[in-house]
Structures are given as C-alpha cells and as structure tokens.
Structure 1
Amino acid sequence: MAAGQKLIVASNGYSLQPRDAHSEDLIRGMSRGVDALCHVNQPRNLKQLRFMYAVFKKIADNHPELHTVEAVKRELKIRCRMFDPISSTDGRAFYTLRSMSFEMMDQTEFAWVWQQFRQCIVHELMPGLTSEALSQELLEML
C-alpha cells in the first residue's frame, strides 16, 4: 500500500472492516502480519452541522449584541476556549480561533465541541433557556 492511501472502514465492535472494494483491495495488498499506522477519524454528521447553524441563526435573531451567525460562532469559540495563543516577535500575545472545518475536526471532536457550545448557550448567551427548550424551539422551526 502506498503511503497516504485513504480507505473507508466500519467498526463491528472489535475490529475494522473495509466498506468498499477500493478499501478491501488496499488491505489485501498488504503483507500478512505487517503493522500499519492508522489515523482514524469519524466523518462529520451533516444533519448535526445544519442543526448547529440553525441554533446560531436563532441566537443571532434574538441576541442584543450578536447579530450574525459568524458573530455567534466567534463568541462561542472564545467562551469555550477554542483558540491558540501566538506570540509576536515583539512579545505581544495574539489569539487565533481554531477551525471547525471538516478537514480540521472529525465527528468525535465536533460532538464534544457541540456539547460545550450547548452549555455556553444555555448558561451564558441565552440564560434562562434550557437545553430542552432550545431543542423544542428548533424542532418547531425546522
């Protein structure tokens, strides 16, 4: 198998099985007993991503200071500490917000981030709104 080859596998609870002919061919092309170093990530859930943006839109439509989806997302990233410090050559500290792009974050990490965002939304951005009430409002909206 050539370095950097990507294959799609599914978990059956105790091992990973190829999901398509290409992935199966790549595995069969490996010598038996040879170790392979794998980077495993779970593809993002598009429904969850759309739901999150619907939440951001709902907040932007009702928040006194955060009027856009991007402003809501930026505020949540800051409040949930999704940033990295950068030191300039003159010693000043800057912060860069982490990316939530599909390439930078798999579903496992995204699910964790969404949980952090939900807690921040119901406790800080929209106090008094419960997680259940937020879910109900969005279900009605969708």
Structure 2
Amino acid sequence: MRSLSIPGYRVLPWERDGDVVRDPRSFPPLSVATWSTHDTAPIALWWREMTPADRGAITAMMAGSGADVAAHATGDALFEAHMRSLFGSGSSLALALLQEILGEDQRINTPGTVGPENWTTRMATPIEALATDVAVARRAKVTSQLLREAKR
C-alpha cells in the first residue's frame, strides 16, 4: 500500500507490540489514525468494556503521548486525553466519530449480527438542540483547542 501511497488505518487500541500500546506519535504520516470505526464501539463505550489490563496499557500510552489521565478517568478528562493522543498522532489524518465528539456511545454496526440496531444510528440529542447543549459546546471547544495545538 505504501508504494501506491495508500494510507494504512491505525486504530489506536489495536496498535500494539505485545501488551504495549504503540505511541501514536510514531505512526507514519501516510496513515489514518482513529480510536474507533463503524464496526467497533465508540471509545467511551469501548473504554468501559475494556479489561483493567487493556485500560492500563492504553492509559500508559496516553500518558506517554502527553495526555494527563488516570486509568479510572471518566467524562471530560477522559475525552480530552483520548482526543489529545489521537490528534497528536503522526498520521496525516486523524478521525473521530461524531458520537465521540458528542459524548455518546452507541455503536453504528455490530459485525456478524443482523438486526434493526445496525446502520440505523441516531444522535441522542436532536440536531436543533446541539447549539444550546452545554456539554456539546464544552467538547467542541476542547476539540477545537486540541486541533489547534496539534496544528491540524
């Protein structure tokens, strides 16, 4: 793929050397970094479902990449740590699911299943209410700040 200049996909929790999660700053520029995909849970849900060992490995990676977070972190602190490590990656493109920015945790698809919950994702907050949602405004401000800091 590299010889064709096709970027590789780097899903942060899956980028490992044994039990150690790779520092996303080491990702090649010709890559796309993300915490989640349409076939995984958004990182907030994934985080809650992780084993303590996996959460610890990812916490160590985030701390190493400049994020200030504890393995038991939740809410805004956890969101900021996740996004800081994503946007600080060496990848030329960093993608965050809309659910992650909005603080929602519903899946888009569950591979290997058929049902009405797949590919029918709806935001929990009506689009008309987003402009006045204090939590969304706070996350948007943090996202904007982190993108500027990462020069994205």
TM-score higher than 0.5: no
- The higher relative CO (CA closer than 8 Å, separation ≥ 6) is in 2
TM-score range, shorter chain: under 0.3
TM-score by length of 1: 0.24
Which protein is bigger by CA-based radius of gyration?
1
TM-score by length of 2: 0.23
